[in-house]
Amino acid sequence: MKPLKKAVLPVAGFGTRFLPATKAVAKEMLPVVDRPLIQYAVDEARAAGIEQFCFITGRGKTAIVEHFDIAYELEKSLEERNKADILAELRGLAVTPGSIVTVRQQVPMGLGHAIWCARAFVGDDPFAIILPDDLMQCETSCVAQLAEAYRETGGNVVAIEEVPMERVNKYGVLDIEKDMGRLVSVKGLVEKPPVEKAPSNLTIIGRYVLMPEVMTHLAKLEKGAGGEVQLTDSMAKLIGTQPFHGLRYEGRRFDCGDKLGFLEAQIAFALERPELAPAVRGFLDRYR
């Protein structure tokens, strides 16, 4: 079994739900407390032993790559001003030179198409997919939990959570073969099914570990729900030929592609910070 060392991060979306804030700023650069969403995603992956990253970008996304570059002038200024703590924090976030590559998705044809754009990067290796819009608050990195499940099952693993049945038409939904508690074996996947046809209320969130064979199916660029190339459709074609499991991860997800989810994440992550939590609780009391 090959080790999991690669991650693909689709970051080409327009962020229309956050306009006008995202007119000139990539939505992945929106901060939660004091770190952009893309930083949380990369840190989560690194905690799982991921060493190589592929950003699927689009127009106006150059700030994402620049964020992970070395800012020599800034570091020199911090040194001169004796801001050692801030400088150490910045350097601690740095990634190994050469570990980030970018690929352009010139035409927005869906998540499946975005992942297919990373085919040369993936090669013959297993890889993680991380959607930065889903911000995870977990004691153990969500990707690390998936990596452990991958080592256990030897195949494809997706992070899952239960949602109310009336919301299943917004997600990829699992058709379960066997429920083993933490893990479920999967016999089918359906992308955004009508509520009355959904096989369960177990839905896929934005964390995956997939085998490279998914690229063979994505290469056909077959359009599915919404007229887009759906990743779920190609994943479904792996079932029966490779192990495929869903993982009930331990932790909490915040949908930062949604304004309310983004605002809740700000509060939840601020309350995790000892230096901020008392003041945050204080001003929250004023709005009751």
Task: Give me the domain span that covers residue 200.
Answer: 6-285
Closest by Cα among 189, 183, 190, 192 to 240: 189
Which pLDDT value is given to residue 109? 87
Q: Is 100 inside a domain boundary?
A: yes
Confidence of residue 215 (pLDDT cuts 50, 70, 90): very high
Q: What does the pLDDT average to over 3-8?
A: 97
Residue pLDDT, tens place only, 27-63: 999 999 999 999 999 999 999 999 999 999 988 788 8
Lowest mean pLDDT among 92-96, 140-144, 166-170, 265-269: 92-96
Averaged confidence pLDDT in the chain: 93
Is the confidence at residue 120, as pLDDT, over 90?
yes
Tell me, yes or no, whether 190 lies in a domain. yes
Main-chain phi, psi angles of 95, to 5 degrees: -105, 160
Better pLDDT: 97 or 276? 276
Other C-beta atoms within 10 Å of 80: how many? Answer: 8
The arithmetic mean of pLDDT across residues 165-170, rounded, is 90
From CA 218, how far away is CA 45, in angstroms rounded? 24
User: What digits encode the pLDDT tens for the residues 262-278?
Assistant: 999 999 999 999 999 99
Tell me what pLDDT residue 118 has: 96
Where residue 288 falls among pLDDT bands split at 50, 70, 90? confident
> 4 near 127, Cβ under 8 Å?
yes
Phi, psi dihedrals of residue 4, rounded to the nearest 5°: -90, 110
* pLDDT above 70 as % of the chain: 100
Segment 150-158 mean pLDDT: 95
Which residues, in sequence order, are CB contacts of 105 under 8 Å at separation 6+? 10, 12, 56, 57, 58, 113, 114, 117
Q: Is residue 188 part of a domain?
A: yes
- Does residue 1 lie within any of the structural domains? no
What confidence score (pLDDT) does residue 178 get? 92
Whether 58 maps to a domain, the answer reads: yes
> Which spans in 155-224 are helix H?
214-218
Does any domain span residue 36?
yes
How many domains, the chain?
1
Domain at 153, CATH number = 3.90.550.10
pLDDT of 227 > 90? The answer is no
